[in-house]
Amino acid sequence: MKAAFVLGNSFALSAVSATVRAKSVDNGTENAATQVLRESMGWTDMYYDAEVGYLYNLDSKALLNDTRSSAWYAAGLLARNEGNDAEEAAKIVKNIIVGQHKNVKFKAVGYGTMQLALTYLPTSGTGTTRSTRKNPRYRVGGVNDDILYPSYSIPAIMRAFMSGWVGRKLNDSNMTSSGEAYAKDIVTLFDRADILSEFNSGTYAGVSLYALTLWAKYLPPSSLMGQHGADMIGKTWATLGRLSIAHLKNVAGPWDRSYVYDMERYLSIFALHIWTLVGKTDAPINAKPWTMGHKDDFAIGPRIAILAPFHNTLVPKDTLSALRAFPGPHANLTIGAETFSENVIGGPAKNPSSFNPPVVQWSRKDASVGWLTLYAQTEELRAVASDGILALEYPQGNETSTFTFLVGQTRAAGRGTLRAGAMSRASKSVSGSRDICNLLTCCCDFEFWNFTYGMPEGSGGIPQISLSFELE
């Protein structure tokens, strides 16, 4: 309870002070960041339940209220600071604190901030129980199906910050040292290739950058997070800049965890960062962000805007240029892929729907983005991306193995129109050991064609397939 109170009030003060400082930072960010703040708040204002001091659920679920978006909205109220904004923000923060579960015997399922843990058992006050209340390190990746590994970048980075920052505020050496231990594992993994382990996701890169900004801005130089946060932000942006395709307004694959096949149709927090850097017109975002898939994340706009004057000073100049004009020769067709060998199917999140190890993107005739990705079905993949060719192989596969490709449908094509809908402007040829079937379905708010290539019955050898692409 005390930790949550400190966190809420400190971030509230940070919101106000950061917005004030934005007026004196000349890095081209102020106007765009203010626009993100204003548009996000203009939308969430419509969902504010002034009677109780909470936002209604952004999916309009029978007048239910929502904690996460309410916390983001409170920061926006303080940043905007007009009329009774500050009073309403204080009301929200108090409501969030009061809403936390304080009774250790309460067994209902809730968010992590709302009770000690989903699996917490309210036994007697034994030494073990007291230890779990004191030290959250009992959450270890792989224990009780937990996936909180350093390679699962977003929750790992945010957990390290929360433990380290709150620990310092409460003068709790146990929490502080835990945060530093988490951070050490994250930094060590990052330094192997100067990139986040949860690689290149339009959905989640923005959250990781937000969390790393908290490292760099709010933790002291004595902290590993304070020492490495800014450098990690710069190197992450350098890679993302090389993979951002400005005129397609998309980030090239592969993606370790993403639901974004077209960033102009599915809202990503990464796009909000880009908006603060180059303006809305050149950012990968629809003119009406609240109409996009995953629109609820638009409510975090104030947080991104508040941190932008600091965060954007850490973005390399080459990256900023690339966000405006893609410098590469492969402007209208990109192929990206990664080879992997893991003991799970579905990448860091163990989710085949979000793991996209090979991705092909192209510019359609109507200027929209065409895309193709492989649906994850195996623990090991060998992939080679070259000029116009994607070659894939299952080293552990057999005659029952299949290659399932999801190919985006255009808005202009009829629902049953395969050729125009699936491969508008791009033609493909396929070689390898395969039979084919296809169907139209949906995944992650997108409609796509499913092309599944299977091994002929009785065939031997390693399953492999090669796709050749050419723009018409």
Half-sphere exposure of 156 (CA within 13 A, CB side): 25
* Contact predicate 260/365, CB 8 Å: no
Most confident of 46-60, 249-263, 358-372: 46-60
Residue with tokens 């796509």: 448
Mean pLDDT on 288-309: 96
What pLDDT does 8 receive? 41
pTM score of the predicted model: 0.82
- The 3-state secondary structure of 244-308 reads EECCCCEECCCECCCCCCCCCCECCHHHHHHHHHHCCCCCCCCCCHHHCECHHHHHHHHHHHHHH
Residue 126 has a pLDDT of 45
Confidence class for position 274, pLDDT limits 50, 70, 90: very high
pLDDT above 90: percentage of residues in the chain:
51
Would you call 150 exposed, middle or buried from its count of C-beta atoms within 10 A (0-12, 13-18, 19+)?
buried
Query: What element of type H or E holds 340?
Result: strand 340-341
**In the predicted structure, residue 117 carries a pLDDT above the cut 80:** no
C-alpha 37/C-alpha 39 separation (Å) is 6
Per DSSP, the three-state class of 117 is coil
Q: What is the pLDDT of residues 142-199, one digit of tens each?
A: 555 666 789 889 999 999 999 999 999 999 999 999 999 999 999 999 999 999 988 7
Residue 115 confidence (pLDDT) above 50: no
Residue 129 has pLDDT above 50, yes or no: no
The whole-angstrom separation of Cα 287 and Cα 289 is 6
At residue 425, does pLDDT exceed 60? no
pLDDT band at 210 (very low <50, low <70, confident <90, very high): very high
Paired tokens of 378: 């195996």
